[in-house]
Amino acid sequence: MSISMSSASLPVMQKMLGNLKHILGKGLAHAQARKFDPQVLTSYRLAPDMLPFTRQVLIACDAAKLGVARIGGLEAPKFEDKETTFDELLERIDRTVAWLASVPPAALDGTEDKAVTFPVGRDGATRTMTAEDYLKTWVLPNMYFHITTAYAILRHNGVDVGKADYLNGGA
Amino acid sequence: MSISMSSASLPVMQKMLGNLKHILGKGLAHAQARKFDPQVLTSYRLAPDMLPFTRQVLIACDAAKLGVARIGGLEAPKFEDKETTFDELLERIDRTVAWLASVPPAALDGTEDKAVTFPVGRDGATRTMTAEDYLKTWVLPNMYFHITTAYAILRHNGVDVGKADYLNGGA
Give the separation between CA A39 and CA A87, rounded to whole angstroms. Answer: 11
Give the torsion sign (CA, A18, A21, A26, A32).
negative
pLDDT 10s digit of each residue in chain A, 171 long? Answer: 689 999 999 999 999 999 999 999 999 999 999 999 999 999 999 999 999 999 999 999 999 999 999 999 999 999 989 999 999 999 999 999 999 999 999 999 999 999 999 999 778 999 999 999 999 999 999 999 999 999 999 999 999 999 999 999 998
What is the band of B112 on the pLDDT scale with cuts at 50, 70, 90? very high
Cβ contacts (< 8 Å) between B53 and chain A: which residues? none
A4 close to B2: Cβ distance less than 8 angstroms = yes
Q: Any CB–CB contact under 8 A between B84 and chain A?
A: no
CA-to-CA separations, B147 to A112, A137, B35, B55, B57, in angstroms, rounded: 26, 14, 25, 11, 7
Angstrom distance (rounded) from CA A140 to CA A142: 5
* pLDDT for the residue B40: 98
B4–A5 C-beta distance less than 8 A: no
B117 strand-pairing partners: B128
C-beta separation of A46 from A104 below 8 A: no
Q: What distance in Å separates the CA atoms of residue A57 and residue A28, rounded to the nearest whole number?
A: 14
Q: How far apart are CA A150 and CA A146, in angstroms?
A: 6
> What pLDDT score was predicted for residue A1?
60
Mean pLDDT taken over chain A: 97
Q: Average pLDDT of chain B?
A: 97
Q: Which of residues 141-160 of B touch A (CB under 8 A)?
A: 141-142, 144-145, 148-149, 151-152, 155-156, 158
> Which residue(s) pair with A116 in the sheet?
A129
CA distance B56 to chain A (A): 12
Chain B residues closer than 8 Å to A163 by CB: 142, 145
Torsion of CA A144, A146, A151, A152, to 10 degrees: 110
Which of the 8 DSSP states describes residue B105? G
| Closest among B45, B41, B13 to B27, alpha carbons compared | B41
pTM of the model: 0.98
Which pLDDT value is given to residue B137?
A: 97
In a 13 Å sphere around the CA of B163, the CA atoms on its Cβ side amount to 18
8 Å CB contact of A113 and B1: yes
Neighboring chain A residues of B140 at a CB cutoff of 8 Å: 140, 144
Q: pLDDT tens digit string along B33-62?
A: 999 999 999 999 999 999 999 999 999 999
